[in-house]
Amino acid sequence: EAQVTQNPRYLITVTGKKLTVTCSQNMNHEYMSWYRQDPGLGLRQIYYSMNVEVTDKGDVPEGYKVSRKEKRNFPLILESPSPNQTSLYFCASSSPGVYNSPLHFGNGTRLTVT
């Protein structure tokens, strides 16, 4: 089954404790991206990657890191999480021909930083 898999679904952590949210897709998509969703603010792009070893900042990259060492994986790293990073996070991917393909989303990760 074609899918984007995010783990974990729920995560509660404390300020300053490094964490990684994993994202993997099995559709051979070149494009992958991370978003955060906050009430009243829609989805805001954190980072995106057009291909392996190519990453770019989105609209809200501060406090986040990403890497794209393999086509299928695009982990999101929070080196020192803070309470303002409490949010719902989505990973998404799309097929080559960036413009005309929709995003395929993971099921989301609910992160709480205390």
Partner 1 sequence: AQTVTQSQPEMSVQEAETVTLSCTYDTSENNYYLFWYKQPPSRQMILVIRQEAYKQQNATENRFSVNFQKAAKSFSLKISDSQLGDTAMYFCAFKGAGKSTFGDGTTLTVKP
Residue closer to partner 1 (CB basis): 69 or 97? 97
| Element of type H or E holding 85 | none
Minimum distance, C-beta of residue 43 to partner 1, in the bound complex (Å):
4
Whether residue 8 is preceded by a cis peptide bond, meaning omega within 30 degrees of 0, is yes
Minimum distance, C-beta of residue 75 to partner 1, in the bound complex (Å):
19
Shortest CA distance to 36 belongs to which of 87, 82, 106? 87
Which residues are at the interface with partner 1 (CB under 8 A)?
Answer: 31, 33, 35, 40-45, 48, 50, 56, 58-59, 88, 90, 92, 98-100, 102-103, 105, 107-108
Give residue for tokens 């303002």.
Answer: 84
